Amino acid sequence: MSTECNKQITNVIEVLNKARSMELCAILQYLNQHYGLDDDDYGQLASAVKKIAIDEMKHAEAFAERIKEIDGSLEPTTEIHGKVIRGQEAEEIFSFNANSEQETMAIYNNFMKICRENNDSISATLFEKIIGEEQKHFNYFDDTATHIKKLGNSFLARQTAGN
Ligand SMILES: [Fe+2]
Ligand SMILES: [Fe+2]
């Protein structure tokens, strides 16, 4: 394999691992919020956040599988990017998450570009697919943040069903 080709693979693996470590943080952050929302009896919000945490698990796994497909001898990262914030209230969770999904989309768009520049259209397509799912997460978090901001307690009071 040429040196140029090796360099391209290294660049792609680097962004796949960075994305995976961002997903690992999102999983723990969203699960932590899920426990708090559940404890506060906001069952519907708790179960929606848990479902999104499971989507992030699938993303973390998809990035790992792509790394293994490129080079089976590599061990995908177990590093968590950033720090999980504990003890957030329902009033702050949804705008916080909407921001973090938006940041993630911007970063993944850049990672997708890096994959294309390094001649890996399969990894670029994976980023494209996952960006579409982060957009759906953003839409849900942003809509919910708006409802909480506009309706406050009357909206929150209606979120006690679910599991
Ligand atoms: Fe994700
Ligand atoms: Fe997401």
Residue 136 CA to ligand 1 center (angstroms) comes to: 10
Residue 133 CA to ligand 2 center (angstroms) comes to: 7
Residue 97 CA to ligand 2 center (angstroms) comes to: 8
Residue 134 CA to ligand 2 center (angstroms) comes to: 4
Q: Each residue of 51-84: pLDDT tens digit?
A: 999 999 999 999 999 999 999 999 999 999 999 9
With beta carbons less than 8 A apart as the criterion, state whether 66 and 79 touch: no
Q: Each residue of 28-49: pLDDT tens digit?
A: 999 999 999 999 999 999 999 9
Q: Each residue of 81-100: pLDDT tens digit?
A: 999 999 999 999 999 999 99
Instruction: Give the number of whichever ligand sits closest to the CA of residue 135.
Output: 2
Residue 131 CA to ligand 2 center (angstroms) comes to: 8
Domains of the chain, each with CATH number or no CATH = 3-157 (1.20.1260.10)
Q: What is the pTM of this model?
A: 0.95
